[in-house]
């Protein structure tokens, strides 16, 4: 069994009304590639360091390859255009998780 992969996203939304269009369509794209939201906004606090994200999202995919396909090849390429001009910043990192024990 392959290791899951995670997309870690931090953003600062500056136009929530327009961003809601993106939020309405992104989940179907995530699901189409086997992904799921683990975190999508919500309460958070910095426990160590100086990272002060405004909003955090965390998505899990069955594999690194599926997460890359979600981002590069699927309908998400069009959907992500909906968030253009709606955030001060939108940072996304893909990281491979730990494989389940054999």
**pLDDT tens profile 51-83:** 999 999 999 999 999 999 999 988 999 999 999
Q: pTM for this one?
A: 0.91
- pLDDT band with cut points at 50, 70 and 90 for residue 99: confident
Q: Could you give the C-alpha distances from 24 to 20, 31, 64, in angstroms and in order?
A: 6, 13, 24
| Domains assigned to the chain | 5-44+52-96 (3.30.70.100)
Helices within 13-80 (DSSP H only): 16-32, 64-72, 76-79
Q: What's the distance, Cα to Cα, between the start and end of the chain in Å?
A: 8
List, edge to edge, every strand of the sheet that includes 36-40. Answer: 36-40, 55-61, 5-13, 87-96
């Amino acid at each position: 069994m392959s290791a899951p992969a995670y997309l870690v996203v931090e953003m600062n939304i500056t136009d929530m009304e327009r961003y809601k269009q993106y939020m309405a369509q992104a989940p179907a794209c995530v699901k189409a590639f086997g992904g799921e939201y683990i975190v999508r906004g919500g309460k958070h606090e910095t426990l160590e360091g100086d990272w002060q994200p405004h909003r955090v999202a965390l998505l899990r995919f069955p594999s690194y390859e599926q997460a890359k396909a979600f981002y590069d090849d699927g309908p998400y390429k069009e959907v992500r255009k909906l968030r253009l001009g709606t955030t001060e910043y939108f940072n996304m990192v893909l990281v491979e998780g730990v494989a389940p024990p054999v």
